Amino acid sequence: MTTITLSKSDAAGVKTDAVIIGVVKLGGGVALPAGTESLNAAYGGKLVEVLSGLGATGKAGEVTKVPGPKPGKSAMLIAVGLGPAPDGSLKTEDLRSAAGAGVRAVKIGQSVAFALPTPDAECVRAVAEGALLGRYAFTAYKSADSDEAPGSLTVLTDLARNKDAKAALERAQVTAESVAQVRDWVNTPPSDLHPVEFAADAVRLGKEYGVKVEVLDEKALAKGGYGGILGVGQGSVNPPRLVRLTYTPRKPVTHLAFVGKGITFDSGGLSLKTSTGMVSMKSDMAGAAAVIGATLAIARLGLPVQVTTYAAMAENMPSGSAARPSDVLTMYGGKTVEVLNTDAEGRLVLGDALVRASEDGPDLIVDVATLTGACVVALGTKVAGAFGNTDSARDRVVDAAVASGEAMWPLPIPAEMLDKLKSHSKVADLANITGEPWGGALAAAAFLGDFVADGIDWVHLDVAGPAFNDGAAAGYTPNGGTGYAVRTLIELAASAS
């Protein structure tokens, strides 16, 4: 992946292919934020007039290109709208998005310098993250002659020699590399990423970054009684896996457990999805990818937090051996579930993993899953739903999401939802659906919560919307896999340390 550096070089004199600045929406026009004085002077003090003449309004994400001020130096100046800033302050997410939008406007082989406002280390990290995330491209299946080495990225800042800024840059680099890995996994065609290959990738990366990785194959899953994972995976010729990652630093301040849904392709099973509904279902393993990626990043950063992660991997396919509606599965731990819809499979693999994660006695369990279309109906495609068995645990994770720039909204788990799941089956402890067309995301959360041991704080993140972007790229978010939740989980661990 591209690396990024800090420099105190002057924005007007730096030699690069492009310099990216921000412009603020002010009244009916635009204004330049602090730090662009030398560039403005290089344009004879007329930079605002030049940009306004080209139609710049300062709207967030808007990109305006002008020739560089000095021949032989920067060939291009790119002004990115930061939106309104009536009190003169800018949010880190504004900077992150602006850096991403700016770098996407430049060819991948070109060098870029960022002259966005960086008054503190957090702003340095936001600019660096946006730049690195915005430069991401999934090229594994492109013809070789289309490959191009990425150009250099530089953040221009007076804090270039500051210790905190250097640490912020390192975290941005590690975070972006982890997000890129998650995006790669999500974007990989399902014919090339079955549970076996996915688990092997986790083992390889665990060795590289000093994280212990254990893999339960189908025989070990059967011996251990993991009926949910086996039941979902039994219709596929590609067997399921349960992957456990363990990072244990010296004197950890807390113990976090992450659980991820890893359905490498979801056809819906015998409760078959529509053809259009299957198109993006290679992304149904985004939760498992996110928890693996975050765990590796936390280890690389050396955060003093113990992390135990479970990635439940299966392929949900229809066949003569597939689970049937009305089959009863005995989950890990002994609870029985009547499967009334084989397309409500994510909760089944997660149920097994949540029981197992509870046995480790963590202080907090966070599961991440592309779980329900109902959550997308409720919150749209950019916002994840956050559920929890305590308000304090849920709010802690939401606060981490806000700090990291990932959109998340708290949702309830009404007690009646679990009652409906239990009463909807006449032959098992509970059904995997309520049988009602409403409140699907809430019912799924209630189902999962029933597999968490008493006394353990638990938060469920339904990322069905933001984990995969079917639309056009925007800011630092590409089309396809987004790597959603990696930054939230890293921030959760960092805030605990």
In b/e form, how buried is each residue of 329-343, taking b as 16+ CB within 10 angstroms? bbbbbebebbbbebb
CA atoms of 173 and 182, how far apart (whole Å):
14
- Give the pair of three-digit tokens for residue 376: 């997308």
Matching residue, tokens 């060939």: 75
CA angle, residues 363, 365, 370, in degrees to nearest 5: 165
Q: Nearest to residue 426, comparing CAs of 415, 435, 417? A: 435
Residue 308 CB neighbours (<10 A): 23
Q: Distance of CA 486 to CAs 62, 149, 309, 330, Å?
A: 27, 26, 13, 32
- How many CA within 13 A on the CB side of residue 139? 13
In the set 347, 356, 420, 487, the catalytic residue is 347
Instruction: Determine the Cα–Cα distance for residues 331 and 228; give it in Å rounded to an integer.
Output: 5
Query: C-alpha angle with apex 260: 257 to 265, nearest 5 degrees?
Result: 170
Residues in CB range of 434: below 8 A, 6 or more apart: 417, 420, 421, 424, 443
Contact (Cβ atoms closer than 8 angstroms) between residue 269 and residue 345:
yes
Terminal-to-terminal C-alpha distance of the chain: 28
Of 416, 399, 420, 417, nearest to 408 by C-alpha is 399
Of 52, 51, 59, whose CA–CA distance to 83 is shortest?
Answer: 59
SS3 content of the chain, % helix, strand, coil (to 5): 40, 20, 40
HSE (side-chain half, CA atoms, 13 Å) at 196 = 7
Q: Of the residues 73, 91, 166, 273, which is catalytic?
A: 273
Give dist(CA 418, CA 426) in Å, integer.
Answer: 14
Q: How far apart are CA 463 and CA 288, in angstroms?
A: 11
242 near 259, Cβ under 8 Å? Answer: no
- Based on the residue annotation, tell me whether 347 is a catalytic residue of this protein: yes
Residue 130 three-state SS: helix
Residue 148, number of CB atoms within 10 A of its CB: 12
List the catalytic residues.
273, 347
